[in-house]
Amino acid sequence: MPSLGELERAVMDVLWAAPTPLTAREVQDGLGSRELATTTVLTVLGRLERKALVARTRDGRAHHYRPVASREDHVAELMRDALDGAPDRGAVLARFLGSIPPDERAALRDLLD
């Protein structure tokens, strides 16, 4: 799973928050206070498409972009990749569980049951 740079993450946040696919201009508007050219947003969207994180469809003259997977699916894949790279998965899981707050450990226990 490819990692995301700061601007890529911001663009993905806008796309994940949107109920429907967005144009590059709508993504640019969704980035709010960032002063970015539309060409910069298009470049980032192109990189995300090459990383298979975003799908593009043509609608008339405009392209619309949508995330290929949900934020939760993306984070779960990152976690799986991190575990796959560990020589001792049990030790990594134990360290992870020891680092999360008790309420999240309880939620995890509930999910496992």
Decide if 83 contacts 92 (C-beta within 8 A).
yes
Q: What is the pLDDT of residues 53-107, one digit of tens each?
A: 999 999 899 999 999 999 999 999 988 998 999 999 999 999 998 999 999 999 9
Domain extent at residue 77 = 71-112
Same domain, 11 and 45: yes
CATH number, domain with residue 51: 1.10.10.10
Decide if 56 contacts 63 (C-beta within 8 A).
yes
Domain-located, residue 79: yes
Q: Where are the beta strands (DSSP E) in 27-88?
A: 54-59, 62-67
Domain-located, residue 53: yes
- Average pLDDT over the chain, rounded to an integer: 92
Model confidence, pTM: 0.83
DSSP state of 22: B
| pLDDT for 27 beyond 80 | yes
Same domain, 48 and 14: yes
Domain-located, residue 94: yes
Same domain, 62 and 105: no
